[in-house]
Amino acid sequence: MAAGRPACNPPRMTPSPIRLEGELSPPHSRWLWLVKWFLLIPHWICLIVLGIGSILATIAAFFALLVTGRYPRGLFDYNVGVLRWAWRVAFYGYSALGTDRYPPFTRGEVPDYPARLEVDYPEHHRRGLPLVGWWLLGIPQYAIAGVLAGGGGFGWFWHFGFGGVTGALVFVVAMLLLFKNRYPRDVFDVLMGFNRWVARAGAYCALLTPVYPPFRLDSGPREPTAAESS
């Protein structure tokens, strides 16, 4: 490098305000995935009811943002809790098959469960009519999330779906579990990247964050940090 020429450093990765994590647990049974759909029926019923509440909470938050530029904290905590619950169900079920540990019935944090999700509360948000245009900018993200998780771009919102590209990859995992009782780590990492993209798009769509999701596939069990990208 020529003397006096500044070093060319790669840009640091900005940490996402949505943190989705999942730790792959060794499968206890190679065939349990065959009946997980039945075991999850109580959760799906709860999530349908909670999802209706989330839609109403998001509409109320939208009008609050138009006037005040702030997301009411109670509505924010409710929506994050539903998204957190949905992620645990998705991780146990057909968005990852990442654990055989049955998910708890709660919107609260469960630190020892292998699937976790957190969203930073935005102290400052957009306000007024620009909020509408800003939300519409997310359409490409919503479309990609729909392809990744299935559901025609809508079913992924609270339930993370079990179709699309993610569903196809999970089917491959299911066959490997059934016949070889193994779960390739690299496949799990890619699935985490897909689910992470869906979670970021869902949080943005629900106005939970003013930070536009990156067009970046962050694979692996944990969120990347700025230090890891430097």
Written as one string, the DSSP assignment of 189-212 is HHHHHHHHHHHHHHHHHTTS-SSP
Distance CA 49, CA 166 (A): 25
**Residue 162, SS3?**
coil
What's residue 10's pLDDT? 46
Helix 164-180 vs helix 185-205: angle between axes, to the nearest 10 degrees? 150
CA angle 221, 184, 115 (to 5 degrees): 30
Token duo for residue 185: 């780590």
Phi, psi (5° rounding) for residue 57? Answer: -65, -40
Give me the residue spans of the domains in the chain.
29-110+122-212
Predicted local confidence at residue 81, as pLDDT: 95
User: Which pair of tokens denotes residue 102?
Assistant: 């049955």
Q: Where are the alpha helices (DSSP H) in 93-152?
A: 130-136, 139-149
Determine the Cα–Cα distance for residues 132 and 130; give it in Å rounded to an integer.
Answer: 5
Residue type, 121: Y
Tens of pLDDT along the chain (230 residues) come to: 444 444 445 456 677 899 999 999 877 788 999 999 999 999 999 999 999 999 999 999 999 999 998 999 999 999 999 999 999 999 999 999 999 999 999 999 999 999 999 999 998 888 877 788 888 899 999 999 888 887 544 444 444 556 789 989 999 999 999 998 889 999 999 999 999 999 999 899 889 999 999 999 999 999 887 555 44
Give 34-101 as a DSSP string. GTHHHHTHHHHHHHHHHHHHHHHHHHHHHHHHHHHS---HHHHHHHHHHHHHHHHHHHHTTTT----S
pLDDT for position 156: 47
Contact 86, 158 (CB under 8 A): yes
**Residue 22, strand partner residues:** 115
Q: How far apart are CA 223 and CA 209, in angstroms?
A: 17
Which of 67, 60, 199 lies closest to 128 in space, CA to CA? Answer: 67
